[in-house]
Amino acid sequence: MQLVEPRPSRPIPIRITPLIDVVFILLVFFMLTTRLLPVDYLELANNTSSRSPVTGDPLPELTVTADGKVQWQGQSMAPDQLVSKLGDAGITEVNLATTGDTPLGAFTRVLSGLTAQNIDTHWKRAKPQTP
């Protein structure tokens, strides 16, 4: 005598909906409990202790051209001439920019020449001009 009916021969489908619900709940839990950035070690480059709050003269604007020369005060000169003129003028901080077609090598030579003479350089590379 058989008390239990035999299992059907077809496979029983696994229902995915409860599994998706559980995974979603776990995802939300971990998103809410995890820190994305280490807040304890957030570094801000905000050291202004050596600067005066009084505004002074604007920094000299230097522009590196495509031929590797540097324009300053309407004059175009070689980087070594520029460094000596800046030293004679007592300038220790400059803004450096490039034209859109300046090669990276020319920019790097000027930047390393200024850095070697202990001239603080703030720089940005200009975007190439589109016709």
Tell me the domain boundaries of the chain.
61-124
**pLDDT tens across the length of the chain (131 residues):** 667 777 767 777 788 888 999 999 999 998 888 876 655 555 555 555 555 555 667 788 888 888 889 988 888 888 888 888 888 888 888 888 888 888 888 888 888 888 888 888 887 655 555 55
Strands in 70-72's sheet, in edge-to-edge order, are 75-77, 70-72, 61-64, 93-98, 120-124
- Three-class DSSP category at 122: strand
Q: Is the dihedral of CA 24, 28, 29, 30 positive or negative?
A: positive
**What confidence score (pLDDT) does residue 2 get?**
67
CATH 3.30.1340 correct for 61-124: no
Six-digit token string for 65: 């051209």
Which residues neighbour 125 within 8 Å (Cβ) at sequence distance 6 or greater?
Answer: 97, 98, 102, 107
